[in-house]
């Protein structure tokens, strides 16, 4: 995210400068200038402030974000719908292996799944 922001700021600064002081009077950056940023994937689980995250979080932010490293190193991005964690199959729940979502243990009868290989250890889940 930071490299894309840096490229945008350089482009914006250059655009303002060139519009105020053009070298030849008509040398401006193209109107359709775009910055291409490589698609980066969220890394799950990741550790941030000594806590392990298996999905996007709003910790310290008003918007959901994820780390791009297993150990957070200030490389992050805001989460889009495709970035949120997916169900992990097969997973272990109460020492039994599940290959699909289950309602077992659900207080409201909704299907749920684990976000890690072993729910018994990590206790991370989401509705299916």
pLDDT per residue, tens digit, the chain (128 aa), is: 555 544 444 444 544 444 444 444 445 545 555 555 567 899 999 999 999 999 999 999 999 999 999 999 999 999 999 999 899 999 999 999 999 999 999 999 999 999 999 999 999 999 99
pLDDT of residue 25: 46
In a domain? residue 60: yes
Query: 92: which 2 tokens?
Result: 């272990």
For residues 112 and 95, state if they share a domain: yes
Q: Which domain holds residue 71?
A: 42-83
Helix (H, G, I), strand (E, B) or coil at 16: helix
In a domain? residue 1: no
Query: How far is CA 100 from each of CA 10, 95, 120, rounded to the nearest angstrom?
Result: 49, 15, 16
b/e 23-50 (16+ beta carbons within 10 angstroms → b):
eeeeeeeeeeeeeeeeeeebbbbbebee
Whole-angstrom Cα distance, residue 22 to residue 18? 5
Query: 83: which 2 tokens?
Result: 């970035």
pLDDT of residue 39: 76
- CATH number of residue 117's parent domain: 2.10.10.10
pTM over 0.85: no
H or E, element range at 52: strand 51-53
In a domain? residue 31: no
pLDDT of residue 22: 46
């Amino acid at each position: 995210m930071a490299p894309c922001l840096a490229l945008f700021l350089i482009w914006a600064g250059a655009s303002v400068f060139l519009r105020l002081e053009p070298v030849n009077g008509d040398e401006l950056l193209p109107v359709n200038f775009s910055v291409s940023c490589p698609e980066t994937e969220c890394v799950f689980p990741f550790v941030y402030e000594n806590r392990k995250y298996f999905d996007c979080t709003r910790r310290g932010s008003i918007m959901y974000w994820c780390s791009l490293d297993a150990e957070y190193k200030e490389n992050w991005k805001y989460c889009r719908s495709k970035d949120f964690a997916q169900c992990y199959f097969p997973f272990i729940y109460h020492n039994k292996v599940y290959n699909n979502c289950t309602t077992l243990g659900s207080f409201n009868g909704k299907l749920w799944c684990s976000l890690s290989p072993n729910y018994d250890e990590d206790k991370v889940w989401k509705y299916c």
